[in-house]
Amino acid sequence: MAAIEVQNLRKTFPNGHTALADVSFSIPEGQFVCIVGRSGAGKSTLMRCLNGSLPLTAGTAIVDGQELIGMDKRERRALQRRVGFIYQEFNLVGRLTALQNVLTGRLGYVSFWRSMALFYTRHDRGLALDALERVGMLHKAVQRSDLLSGGEKQRVAIARALAQQPSVLLADEPVANLDPELASGVLEDLRRISKESGVATLLNVHNIVQARQYADRIIGIAQGRVVFDGAPGDFGEEALRNVYRFDREDSRAALAGVLEPLVLLDLDRALQEGEHRADTHERALEERL
Amino acid sequence: MTLENPRPFVPRSGVRQGLGSQGERWQAAVSGVMFGRPPSFEPGTAKLESARLKWERPASFPGFRTVIWLALFAAFLVWAWRGIEADPLKLIRDFSDSNRITRQFLDPDWGVLRQGIEATIETVQMAVIGILVAAVISLPLGLLAARNVSHPAVYYTMRVLLSFMRCVPELIWAIVFVIVVGLGPFAGTLAIILGSTGSFAKLFAETIESVDPRPIDAVRSTGAGPVPVSISAILPQAFPLLLSYVLYFWESTVRHATVLGLVGAGGIGVYINSAIGILRYDRLAVYILCIFVAVVIIDRVSAVLRSRLL
């Protein structure tokens, strides 16, 4: 069964704005999917719908076996417990230590009275420490989280999501606030974790090059609709136009700045597979642009 | 690609460059609160062009609306001034009468020092217990009275309840408890608890409303219920301000202990009131000195606690 199954999903806000017009896709377990799209395309709304924080307007969406439409409060909480969410701005509680932040990922599981007393069992603490270890942050476990650097904070946030023992991971632009180096590291971690534990992972990414480097599959969203859904290697000029330049007719020259890294990426891959020699690299680039 | 500024900056009206127009400063002082939304402009319109000319002016008179608001504010001040029956001449004319007080003050009766110290310690003890209990009670009340945590119906009910609690002064509570539990510091402590809980809970609620909502979102989306979210995501963020309020109230309660003494509810206030009653300002001086020393010590203790705990 697919981890996420979305059919004709529509989301209209109370103010009349339709953020998602018609979105359908199906994501099997363990797949690592990047969602790309312009700001305001509805990517974040999609994420928030899928973790149950926003109610859907129409369509069907099934996340880890739970139908999102018509679920009651208890079902929603039970779902949110199994869906890890990672934010662009990390959203850690600054005054708590890294470990305490990760432990909040267990709150959905602990009993009411235990959570009142902030008493986590050995089992919960073990899971939290495992999660920290998996993102390479065990050594900072008792560091206050507002003293961590950006990349470290995001790793702790990922550990918090992992402590939930999620069956689905959603990440809303997890690397937009990080420098390119850290961003690659965090994306690598996310991909590794997704593969290790077979968790379906859906993330919004702004950088197409990163999306193409790390994703198993790219979904392009524009104006609340899916305009591209395919393998990273197929995300080329046409997809780029459909996702980012649907409302204007740009010359190739204007697109060049975005296209160039993509073409380079293709060429790099080809080079590694031995199709080109290095000296033809530049000529090939000129041809493609 | 080269970035060309589509329209280089040329001062249109040829006026001097300044740090920002007077009108803007006037507006900055009062706008936002009173004016609501600033006007919106379409790019490229004549309206925006003329507004641009205005924004370039380094100094300008406050706008019509600003003047209206300032005038209203001035009228408000005049209204309040008339209410207090202020007569500065009186202050000078009648000062000689206070000579006796001043003289006694400068010659304190050290014989009551021991008594004063003991009573001050009792006041501090009353304040410690009173404020701590009030803080513990106020925590859940504050959460219920915070817009971002509570249900709207509960929120409004709590706000009304807290307003009522603040309206009843500590003195009245003290009278009530002196009748219930008899004279002495226990009545005073109960009065401190009820008197501070209203203010505490309001301050707590407003602190809780101002914490960063994003970590709350994150913890909530792990499937945690409202109480665990409050404890794990809201209270840690609100903690520094809550601690500041508690420490400040501790100090301020010691300072206000006189009020409780009026009705015999324990502490240094009892002695202060009797000293005033028999016109022994030399004793009053000693008692006030005791409170002063206590406040200085509390201030230092607060500073240490804050630097350790924040």
Instruction: Please give the pLDDT value at position B15.
Output: 41
Predicted confidence (pLDDT) at residue B1 exceeds the cutoff of 50: no
Whether A238 and A257 map to the same domain: the answer is no
Percentage of chain B beyond pLDDT 70 is 85
Same domain for A90 and A221: yes
Q: Is the pLDDT of residue A273 over 80?
A: no
Question: Measured between alpha carbons, how far is A78 from A93 in angstroms, rounded to an integer?
Answer: 22
For position B8, what pLDDT does the model report?
45
Instruction: Note whether B1 contacts A: Cβ–Cβ < 8 A.
Output: yes
| Residue A153 sits at the chain B interface (C-beta within 8 Å) | no
Instruction: Looking at the structure, tell me whether residues A13 and A143 fall in a common domain.
Output: yes
Q: Is the pLDDT of residue B193 over 60?
A: yes
Helix (H, G, I), strand (E, B) or coil at B230: helix
Is the same domain home to A107 and A203? yes
Question: Among B215, B224, B227, whose Cβ lies nearest the Cβ of A91?
Answer: B215
All residues of chain A having their beta carbon less than 8 Å from the beta carbon of residue B215 are: 91-94
B6 versus A231: the higher-pLDDT residue is A231
- Length of chain A, please? 289
Shared domain check, A264 and A218: no
Architecture of domain B113-309: Orthogonal Bundle (1.10)
Residues 6+ apart with CB under 8 A from A21: A10, A223, A224, A225
For helices B185-209 and B113-144, what crossing angle results, to 10°? 40
Other CB atoms within 10 Å distance of the CB of residue A253: 10
Q: Domain residues for A280?
A: 250-289
Which of A92, A93, A111 is the mutation pick for testing B, counting most B CBs within 10 A? A93
Residue A116: its pLDDT value, please?
80
Q: Does A120 touch chain B (CB under 8 A)?
A: no
Portion of chain A with pLDDT greater than 70, in percent: 90
Q: Nearest chain B residue to A78 by CA: give it.
A: B223
Residue spans of the domains in chain B: they are: 1-76, 113-309
pLDDT at residue B14, as a whole number: 39
CATH of the domain at A195: 3.40.50.300
Q: Which residue of A lies nearest to B238 if distances are taken between CA atoms?
A: A95
pTM: 0.77
- Rounded mean pLDDT, A78-93: 93
Q: Tell whether the model's pLDDT for residue B94 goes beyond 70.
A: no
- Provide mean pLDDT across the span A177-199: 90
Residue A95 has its nearest CB partner, among B218, B222, B237, at B237
Give residue-wise pLDDT tens across range A63-73: 999 999 889 98
Does residue A19 sit in helix, strand or coil?
A: strand
Whether residue A224 sits in one domain with residue A159:
yes
- One-character DSSP codes across B105-156: HTS--GGGHHHHHHHHHHHHHHHHHHHHHHHHHHHHHHHHT-TTTS-HHHHH
pLDDT digits (tens, 9 = 90+) for B205-230: 999 999 999 999 999 999 888 888 99
**Inter-axis angle of helices B185-209 and B235-255, nearest 10:** 140
Contacts of B139 in chain A (CB under 8 A): none
Q: Is the pLDDT of residue A80 over 90?
A: yes
Residues A184 and A274 in one domain: no
Provide the mean pLDDT of chain B. Answer: 84
Is residue A165 over pLDDT 60? yes
Residues from chain A contacting residue B212 (CB–CB below 8 Å): 94
Cα A106 to Cα B219: distance, rounded to the nearest angstrom:
10
Q: Which of B78-92, B140-154, B212-226 has the lowest mean pLDDT?
A: B78-92
pLDDT in the model for residue B309: 82
Same domain, A258 and A232: no
**A124 plus A69 within the same structural domain:** yes
**Same domain, yes or no: A79 and A14:** yes
Question: Can you list the alpha helix ranges (DSSP code H) found in chain A?
Answer: 43-50, 73-82, 98-103, 112-116, 122-134, 150-163, 180-197, 208-214, 237-244, 252-272, 281-288
Percent of chain B clearing pLDDT 90 (strictly above):
48
Tell which wins on pLDDT, B106 or B124: B124
Q: Which of A81, A104, A165, A255 to mutate to test the interface with B (most CBs of B within 10 A)?
A: A104
The total of structural domains in chain A comes to 2
Same-domain status, A239 and A256: no
ipTM confidence score? 0.83
Which B positions 157-216 lie with beta carbon below 8 A of chain A? 212, 214-215
pLDDT digits (tens, 9 = 90+) for A24-49: 999 999 999 999 998 888 899 999 99
Same domain, A147 and A267: no
